[in-house]
């Protein structure tokens, strides 16, 4: 074992070999003119036994993409289709990324099969007219998104590495030329709804069965049951309802919830025009091109439900349509259940009576929608008992306070020093732009490091309580 893997937690696997014949193409990484290590996530690396690498080994594996010991020998660009803003696109696939390696995380971390996947690593057969590159700003934004979401309990990919690569890129949505980078993410799989859509569209029934079996065995870790397709859809639906709920409680807007961006594990990933809404604004959008608000803040649960229907459609050769529809019908109630559970988790309360829990969440959301109170401020204040402040005056807030009487604060919910601070940690667009400006104008990476540290401290303040 070389300097990149000094720990006993390193367990490479090649499960993807079971389906590689129909799911991927072997590709080569780009030969970049420079490699400047800008971010390494040793916390994530520790979970898969990769935290002991020196910087030279890190760059060799995650900048030049020299294969990891006993892992797959070549990168794999995955094939998939998908609905983009509800228009079917058969010309998709990994156009600027690939699957670099699969690793088994430590049992302490959960023991899942994880992928190291890339973004901005060069051209593939699916690049079309694009250049296969990632802007440095895009990489910085992905660090900020994943760190914040992880701290807020959202099941998300983790930004594993960001290396600046010394090229100048031209983009229509950034001042150009702009700096380039290659990013590596640690994800719970890259099989997505669009992976199944491609097989169904091409009439590949046997391959669909194989992908269902692979997903159940390696990603969802479930027995196939009487009907593997129904088992799969039920599991994905349950996880996806929780993902939608977690977005709402975090105040997060993904921006592009296309079916090719919905993983079978329902782990959030692939962050482009994301934003956190400062207030509870149902129509808030992240992408400038989402002119009709299809993926607006309060429509994300609907968008995910619609994508689940596309997965169900892709499984009709393996299950009766009515049985698939019956699973989809359970989504709205499950989403509401998960929304209430996650709302209480973030505010630090529990409820023995489900009706009392629902009454509080309904009242709080109504009050938030009718006020200028920031989402982060609300959870920060109410968790630590500051719900009588001037910002919370009026009948709607009175109703919320009354409903709070039916809940119980978790023991230790406010023990962390974070809750004694003056203000909550947030990730609003002005903060993101200020962090990028320091890098773009002065090559100053200190604000990014400080923000990551602050976000992780907030995550520690929420830790110690099981995620709902």
For residue 154, give its domain range. Answer: 12-193
Judged by DSSP in three states, 227 sits in: coil
Would 383 be classed as within a structural domain?
Answer: no
Q: Is the pLDDT of residue 1 over 50?
A: no
The per-residue pLDDT for 466 is 63
In the structure, what pLDDT confidence band is assigned to residue 465 with cuts at 50, 70 and 90?
low
What secondary structure, in 3-state letters, does 106-141 show?
Answer: CHHHCCCEEEEEEECCCCCCCCCCCCCCEEHHHHHH
- Between the alpha carbon of residue 111 and those of residues 9, 11, 96, the distances in Å are 10, 10, 28
Contact 25, 19 (CB under 8 A): no
**What tokens does 370 get?**
């009718």
In the structure, what pLDDT confidence band is assigned to residue 280 with cuts at 50, 70 and 90?
very high
Quick one: which of 377, 358, 356 has its CA closest to 366? 358
The per-residue pLDDT for 89 is 96
Would 273 be classed as within a structural domain?
Answer: no
Dist. CA 345–CA 366, nearest whole Å: 19
Cβ-count burial 233-254 (b if 16+ within 10 Å, e if not): bbbbbbbbbbbbbbbbbbbbbb
**What tokens does 463 get?**
């830790």
Contact 238, 247 (CB under 8 A): no
* Angle in degrees, CA 268, 270, 272, rounded to 5: 120
Q: Which residues contact 274 (CB under 8 A, 6 or more apart)?
A: 141, 145, 252, 253, 254, 255, 286
The per-residue pLDDT for 8 is 83
Would 253 be classed as within a structural domain?
Answer: no
Residue carrying structure tokens 């500051």? 386
Would 156 be classed as within a structural domain?
Answer: yes
Dist. CA 269–CA 256, nearest whole Å: 11
Concerning whether 260 is annotated as a catalytic residue, the answer is yes
What does the pLDDT look like over 358-403, one tens digit per residue?
A: 999 999 999 999 999 999 999 999 999 999 889 999 999 999 999 9
Would 176 be classed as within a structural domain?
Answer: yes
Q: Is the pLDDT of residue 136 over 90?
A: yes
The per-residue pLDDT for 176 is 85
Tell me the pLDDT of the chain averaged across its residues.
Answer: 96
What does the pLDDT look like over 23-38, one tens digit per residue?
A: 999 999 999 999 999 9
The per-residue pLDDT for 221 is 96
**What tokens does 351 get?**
């409820």
The per-residue pLDDT for 18 is 98
Contact 121, 97 (CB under 8 A): yes
Number of domains in the chain: 1
Would 186 be classed as within a structural domain?
Answer: yes
The per-residue pLDDT for 464 is 62
Handedness of CA 71, 100, 13, 36 (dihedral sign): positive
Is cis: bond before 60, omega within 30 of 0? no
Dist. CA 425–CA 411, nearest whole Å: 22
Strand 134-135 with 24-26, pairing: unpaired
Given the residues 260, 270, 376, 381, select the one marked as catalytic.
Answer: 260
In the structure, what pLDDT confidence band is assigned to residue 468 with cuts at 50, 70 and 90?
low
Q: Containing H/E element for 350? A: strand 349-350
**What tokens does 110 get?**
């959960």
Contact 193, 307 (CB under 8 A): yes
Q: Containing H/E element for 179? A: strand 178-187
Would 430 be classed as within a structural domain?
Answer: no
Which of 68-77, 106-115, 278-287, 441-450 is predicted least confidently?
Answer: 106-115
Would 2 be classed as within a structural domain?
Answer: no
Q: Which residues contact 215 (CB under 8 A, 6 or more apart)?
A: 189, 191, 232, 264
- Between the alpha carbon of residue 105 and those of residues 45, 119, 154, 187, 413, the distances in Å are 9, 21, 19, 11, 29
Handedness of CA 70, 261, 456, 338 (dihedral sign): negative
Q: Could you give the residue ranges of the DSSP H alpha helices within 215-353?
A: 228-250, 300-314, 321-329, 331-347
Stretch 123-130: mean pLDDT: 92
């Amino acid at each position: 074992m070389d300097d990149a893997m000094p720990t006993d937690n390193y367990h490479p696997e090649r499960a993807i070999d079971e389906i590689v014949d129909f799911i991927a193409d072997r590709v080569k990484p780009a030969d970049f003119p420079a490699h400047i290590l800008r971010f390494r996530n040793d916390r994530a690396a520790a979970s898969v036994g990769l935290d002991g690498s020196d910087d030279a080994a890190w760059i060799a594996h995650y900048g030049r993409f020299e294969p990891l010991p006993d892992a797959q020998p070549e990168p794999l660009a995955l094939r998939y289709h998908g609905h983009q803003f509800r228009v079917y696109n058969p010309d998709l696939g990994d156009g600027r990324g690939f699957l670099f390696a699969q690793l088994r995380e430590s049992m302490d971390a959960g023991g899942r099969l994880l992928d190291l996947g890339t973004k901005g690593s060069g051209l593939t057969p699916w690049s079309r007219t694009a250049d296969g590159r990632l802007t440095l700003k895009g990489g910085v934004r992905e660090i900020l998104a994943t760190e914040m979401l992880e701290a807020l309990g959202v099941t998300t990919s983790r930004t594993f590495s960001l290396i600046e690569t010394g090229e100048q890129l031209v983009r229509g949505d950034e001042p150009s030329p702009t700096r380039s980078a290659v990013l590596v993410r640690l994800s719970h799989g890259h099989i997505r709804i669009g992976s199944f859509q491609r097989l169904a569209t091409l009439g590949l029934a046997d391959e669909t069965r194989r992908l269902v079996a692979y997903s159940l065995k390696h990603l969802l870790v479930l027995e196939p049951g009487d009907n593997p397709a129904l088992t799969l859809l039920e599991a994905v639906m349950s996880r996806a309802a929780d993902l939608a709920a977690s977005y709402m409680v975090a105040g997060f807007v993904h921006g592009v919830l296309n079916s090719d961006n919905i993983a079978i594990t329902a782990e959030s990933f692939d962050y482009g025009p994301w934003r956190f809404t400062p207030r509870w604004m149902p129509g808030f959008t992240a992408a400038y091109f989402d002119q009709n608000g299809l993926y607006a803040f309060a429509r994300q649960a609907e968008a995910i439900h619609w994508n689940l229907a596309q997965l169900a459609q892709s499984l009709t050769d393996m299950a009766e349509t009515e049985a698939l529809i019956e699973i989809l019908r359970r989504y709205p109630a499950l989403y509401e259940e998960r929304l209430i559970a996650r709302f209480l988790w973030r505010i630090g309360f529990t409820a023995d009576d489900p009706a009392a829990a629902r009454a509080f969440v309904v009242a709080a959301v109504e009050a938030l929608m009718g006020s200028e109170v920031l989402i982060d401020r609300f959870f920060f204040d109410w968790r630590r008992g500051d719900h009588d402040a001037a910002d919370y005056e009026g009948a709607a807030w009175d109703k919320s306070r009354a409903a709070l009487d039916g809940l119980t604060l978790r023991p230790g919910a406010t023990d962390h020093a974070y809750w004694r601070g003056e203000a909550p940690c947030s990730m609003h667009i002005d903060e993101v732009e200020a962090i990028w400006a320091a890098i773009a104008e002065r090559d100053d990476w200190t604000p990014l490091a400080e923000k990551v540290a602050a976000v992780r401290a907030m995550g520690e303040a929420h830790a110690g309580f099981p995620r709902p």
